[in-house]
Amino acid sequence: PYRGYQPIGDYAIIGDCRTAALISRQGSLDWLCLPHFSGAAVFGGLLDCRRGGRFLVCPAIPFESQRRYIGETNVLETTFATDRGKLRVLDCMPILAGSGLDKRLRPANELLRILECAEGEVDAEIAFEPRPNYARARGVIEPRGGSSWVCRHRDELLLLRSDLPLQSTFDRTGLRGWVRLSAGRRHYLSLSYVRRDVGIVVPLGAAADRRLESTLAWWRAWSGQCDYKGPYRPAVIRSVLALKLLTHALSGAVIAAATTSLPEAIGGVRNWDYRFCWLRDAALTLSAFLDLGYRDEGEKFLAWLLHATRLTWPRLQVMYDVYGATRLPEHEMDHFEGYRGSRPVRIGNEAADQRQLDAYGTVLLAAHAYIGRGGRLTRAERRVLSKLGRTVVRCWREPDDGMWELRGQRQHTTYSKLM
């Protein structure tokens, strides 16, 4: 009964270390939160394929698709093969740090989709259907001139620019387009986002190609820092690239996942919001970065960890958001049907209010891993950690909710006592 949903395993992820987008094998971008990981979804088709919104780029006739990341980067390449030709789509969220481009005025976030006919001719279909604030707001699309369109929601602006012919739908909540592409021609779709700021229309053509090359160069330089030389290096590189995609550049926090409410079992109710940083994951994530030679990531993550825990001192929360916020109220969105009917769809996570005593040991293990690999703590950081020890002395004999976050009466759990 729930047609239109793609297998979860068929989604690829791209991002800019602030937020991330999920793109299906069919070329449909079905999940993107702005301006950061735990912001409101602008495209939520992953959780409701009819109402959630999408950004589709694919051939207009039957096709087969193959995908890969370009080298040791997080730039996605999808090749659609039809009876008449092949369409190549490059998807990325540009990262311009370290280049002259970042000195210019530019949007907070940009999503860049580059279309190229690699062989023969291809009739391409484009559907741009943003649904701001988890489809709870009506985002009306208006032409801005110069092949640009704007979708407004309160103090937020989504600006789409393209050199492709697009037409507004009858209710102005979407854009549709069909175009015949010839071999060797490139076309561009640039979606930029700003909040409480000037709307930026970024240039296309050669300038967009430069943003793509800058992003490829940034990811290559970052993955090139990995000093692991053992077996299965490609898998190790791909894994650390995934961790980097889930790292919030402005704070150093690493979230558990870029999504919410994907079910443990289809039709089940254990559908949680994982767009937060769990302290329990901290030691493992920190150790992974440090083991592979990423000292900066380790330092930033530990700094975020100690900063976030100060906000609830002397109590440690189970999780925090990317900025260290502690209030993560959970509520259900009844207007979304959920992935293949898996309700409820949740925003926020009530487990943040649970008591899980193993968090104290987790923070200490993270600091221990950092020091063991040559890191040094500041006096303030040492003082915070020593006070954690005094807190543990007072509370370790008390019951808690345990590492599995069961919602019920608190109990004495072995793992919590050990940690």
Q: Could you say which DSSP state residue 260 is in?
A: B
CA 222 to CA 216: how far, in whole Å? Answer: 10
Residues facing residue 128 across a β-bridge = 55, 175
Predicted pLDDT of residue 335: 96
- Provide CB contacts within 8 A for 284, sequence distance 6+: none
Backbone angles phi, psi at 116, to 5 degrees: -145, 125
Pairing, β 20-23 against β 28-34:
antiparallel
pTM for the model stands at 0.94
Choose among 146, 2, 20: nearest CA to 74. Answer: 20
Q: Measure the N-to-C terminal CA separation of the chain; round to a whole number of Å.
A: 46
Residue 290 pLDDT class (50, 70, 90 cuts): very high
pLDDT 10s digits, 162-197: 999 999 998 999 999 999 999 988 999 999 999 877
- Taking the C-alpha atoms of residue 150 and residue 298, their distance in angstroms, rounded to an integer, is 39
DSSP state of 25: T
In the chain, DSSP finds a helix count (H) and a strand count (E) of 8, 19
Dump pLDDT digits (tens) for 52-74: 999 999 999 999 999 999 999 99
For residues 304 and 290, give the distance between their C-alpha atoms in angstroms, rounded to a whole number. 16
Backbone angles phi, psi at 232, to 5 degrees: 60, 35
**Where residue 105 falls among pLDDT bands split at 50, 70, 90?**
low
